[in-house]
Amino acid sequence: MKVIIVGGVAGGASAAARIRRLDETAQIIVFERSGYVSYANCGLPYYIGGVIEDRSLLTLQTPESFKSRFDIDVRVHHEVVAIHRKRKAVTVRSLENGTEFEESYDKLILSPGARPIRPPMPGLDAKRLFTLRTVEDTLKIRAFVEKEKPRRAVLAGGGFIGLELAENLCEMGVEVTIVQLLDQLLTPLDKDMASFVHARFRLNGVHLMLKTAVSGFEEREGCILTHVDGGEPLCAEMAVLAIGVSPDSALARESGLEIGAHGAIVVDEHMRTSDPDIYAVGDAIQVRNAVTGSSGLVSLAGPANKQGRIAADHVCGLDSAYHGAYASSVIKVFDMTAATTGINEHSAKEAGLSYEKIVLSPASHASYYPGGRAMTIKLLYEKETLRILGAQIVGFDGVDKRIDVIATAMQAGLKAPKLAQLDLAYAPPYSSAKDPVNMAGFMVENIETGKVKQFHYEDLADLYGRPGITLLDTRTVGEYDAGHAEGFINIPLDSLRERLGELDVHQPVYVMCQSGLRSYLACRILCQHGYDCYNFSGGYRLYQAIVENAFNEQANTPCGFCVGTAKSE
């Protein structure tokens, strides 16, 4: 059997190695148009910033190592320019000398990846304008930064690569401006959760220009101007176009393979295209969303690796199948971490799902052990079935392991209340006896059993000025005086029982505290005294992040203390 693989990196390289492990006699040829067949794509921004010092660490495998270990013929700087399906051959062009030749195949695997989006606008050929997708791009930017030592940089786009590069440039002392067409960064997050990311970037000196469109670039002596709609051009020594990627599906389209949503290659669960002898994997394919069942794009290394393995299995006669993507992801934002799995509110509404959400802000570990910091967890679940739809977490220590636990529970079909029953590891430096994931389950259980009712940030606009209601803040006097939401009166939780007479039992009470815990306790008191009570989801921490772009790192313990501090005033 002769297998040709078009493209390396995550999907193509993993497919090649897997085929060899399954079939020692197969002839395997990989054509890669860049100079690197297998590299750590996600590590590229960190090499530019000097966090990864040795460029060789970016290269996971070389043509030589593929040959010596796997007996795989890897040819870099070779581009497949045509597929001849009837005679099962491809035309290959050497990018070093321009010569072309044909190579036959029994099975063909396409892993062409995606290309940076370059919308039609002036100045895209400017020497001070960069994109970041390949090792070559990385080396080019690193060489420029080392030689020119730019003082300012403009990044167009607020996705993963743009934000990681922004952080690394900022850590090098470069003044960074991010221009984003949307009103938030990191679209896998909902806007309320993205507010924490906005706050962290601004705290570290990064200027954010949201809801701003880039209209073009113009090179001047020693600088590049980034033109934006409705504003003055931004002058910097370098600019990076990072507004997203699109599937590199031209080769598949030209050969007559079926193309679907967003111009991506259509594949079945075995990664086969509309031609049974041609497979496709990675960023170029249309992927089924495992939560909604809809088709879309998932440009992540984890799914690409799995798809490469599944394609290889099927080529070798095994019945492996890919059942869709949950798009679990995590990103470092200076000293903070943001992570997601499943879908967000925007996607849930688009899919027409009836959902509920909870927001909580537990500490990363036991409050009495030094160093605990708050994380904010947002969990979405379907109202009728209680299945978990997705989660978003922003915080510091332990964010990654909590998102992985929720992702695992979701994929295992666990209902949201069952998170309360998970038996998770506990020691004071790592967690609490009630892990944050358990606490999310407790909250869902309380809501679904009617022990608590809640309201959300988007409900506040309708509450302001409404007659016949009470807005109550149950934090301490000191916390309240330091800042509070409009219209909320203050009765600290520990004084609530003796001050019930100050509240009209005939009026609904909407309660807020710092993280949602003390307000929940207040609601339990009030409900049992005949009040109609609603708990604010996410607490003042979430409100403050959205309204003020501030990030409060303290979290409340069950006793109402703040992590790392003495008892509140």
Annotated catalytic residues are 42
Q: What backbone phi and psi angles, to 5 degrees, belong to 192? A: -65, -40
Distance, CA of 296 to CA of 292 (rounded, Å): 11
With H, G, I as helix, E, B as strand and everything else as coil, classify residue 552: coil
Q: Provide the 10 A C-beta neighbour count for residue 352.
A: 7
Distance, CA of 536 to CA of 517 (rounded, Å): 10
Cα dist. 46→140, 164, 168, 177, 267 in Å?
Answer: 14, 8, 6, 18, 33
Distance, CA of 486 to CA of 464 (rounded, Å): 8
3-class SS string, 43-110: HHHHHHCCCCCCHHHHEEECHHHHHHHHCCEEEECEEEEEEECCCCEEEEEECCCCCEEEEECCEEEE
With H, G, I as helix, E, B as strand and everything else as coil, classify residue 534: strand
Neighbouring-strand partners of residue 38 = 61
Distance, CA of 341 to CA of 120 (rounded, Å): 33
- Give the side-chain half-sphere CA count within 13 A for 108: 28
3-class SS string, 417-474: HHHHHCCCCCCCCCCCCCCHHHHHHHHHHHHHCCCCCEECHHHHHHHCCCCCCEEEEC
Cα dist. 391→330, 407, 426, 499 in Å?
Answer: 12, 8, 22, 38
Determine contact, residues 168/45, Cβ cutoff 8 Å.
Answer: yes
Distance of CA 143 to the CA centre of its chain: 29
Q: Which two tokens stand for residue 17?
A: 């190695």
Which letter does DSSP use for residue 486 in this model? T
Which letter does DSSP use for residue 387 in this model? B
Quick one: which H or E segment has residue 304?
Answer: helix 301-315
Distance of CA 89 to the CA centre of its chain: 39
Distance of CA 496 to the CA centre of its chain: 41
